[in-house]
Amino acid sequence: MEKVAIVTGSSSGIGFETALALAREGYRTYATMRDVKKGDRILDIAKKENLKINVIELDVNNENTIKKAVECIISEKKRIDVLVNNAGYFLVGCLEDLTISDLKDQFETNFFGVVRTIQAVLPTMRSQKSGTIVNISSVAGRIGFPVTPGYISSKFALEGLSESMRYELFPFGIRTIIIEPGVIKTNLFSTLKKATKAESPYKDMTEKVMKGLLMMSEMGTPPQEVAKTIVKAVSSENPLPRHPVGNDAIMFLEAKKDKTDMEFENYIKKELFS
């Protein structure tokens, strides 16, 4: 029986590599994206490697495209085994610099977009009494950092959603997995949305933190490593709830576990501002 996977945000980065990795494991993979014109690269690779990849339109902010995509997949394959919720973006700006509209837009994509897509596939997964949902969170879903409170809040919300889902869905044979990358070497920083204004009192802080993040991204974990982690997790009989990826993610999470709140706060201040 051919297994079927859906990956959102597959035009680049983690989504791109995950769609390829799942297809190489034998999944019929639906690499979804807002603009299917960006699907040429993944289709070229699929053709060369004889991979079963379909590129279809899916905008996580548009319920109609989600419904249409899922209906198309069910019509063609009659099942959905894996959903990888990867689509999202990175909003930069300290809280005072952000408008309510900025924050709503961030949550619309990073949180509500995930909810919409999950709700669209659940009836199928429940009826087949199986399925795996993979939510791409971040180490920033467990640890607060300055300058990106909108992004971090959306990932904290995604962590809570995922924990709740694990309890709700396991009676139906559906598994929920959280992936927590650190700084990954992707185009995240070239496509980020920046809300900090030139006259902002947080301008210097923002520039310093972003400079550090950009340096980290140059040495960041390749997105292929995230894809490998996802494939390993979905292939496991009893996957762990959370899967950190990258030495930086593991380092920060271990430090938080071993320190008091104040000790960890001082540790982060030293890492970011010294």
> pLDDT, tens digit, for every residue of 75-120?
999 999 999 999 999 999 999 999 999 999 999 999 999 999 999 9
CATH of the domain at 87: 3.40.50.720
- What number of CA atoms fall less than 13 Å from residue 215's CA on the CB side? 7
pTM score of the predicted model = 0.96
Average pLDDT of every residue of the chain: 94
- Backbone φ, ψ for residue 148 (5° rounding): -130, 45
CA angle (247 as vertex; 249, 192 as ends), nearest 5? 55
Tokens 């409170």 belong to 149
- The C-alpha atoms of residue 184 and residue 245 are separated, in whole angstroms, by 9
**Cβ neighbours of 228 (radius 10 Å):** 15
**Confidence label for 9 from pLDDT (cuts 50, 70 and 90):** very high
CB 18 within 8 A of CB 96: no
- The C-alpha atoms of residue 160 and residue 38 are separated, in whole angstroms, by 32
**Catalytic annotation present for 167:** no
Radius of gyration of the chain (CA): 19
Q: Is the pLDDT reported for residue 187 higher than 70? A: no
Counting the structural domains of the chain, the total is: 1
First to last CA, the chain: 56
Provide the residue range defining the domain that includes 260: 4-273
Q: What is the pLDDT of residues 16-61, one digit of tens each?
A: 999 999 999 999 999 999 999 999 999 999 999 999 999 999 999 9
C-alpha distances out from residue 41 to 8, 149, 227, 231, Å: 16, 33, 17, 21
Sequence-ordered strand ranges (E) for the chain: 4-7, 28-33, 53-57, 82-85, 91-92, 131-136, 174-181, 193-194, 242-245
Q: Indicate which residue of 30, 89, 151, 202 is catalytic.
A: 151
Among 268, 91, 93, CA closest to 189? 91
Q: Six-digit token pair at 67?
A: 């419904």
Sequence-ordered strand ranges (E) for 96-252: 131-136, 174-181, 193-194, 242-245
- The C-alpha atoms of residue 235 and residue 212 are separated, in whole angstroms, by 35
Q: What is the pLDDT of residues 233-250, one digit of tens each?
A: 999 999 999 999 999 999
**Confidence label for 203 from pLDDT (cuts 50, 70 and 90):** very high
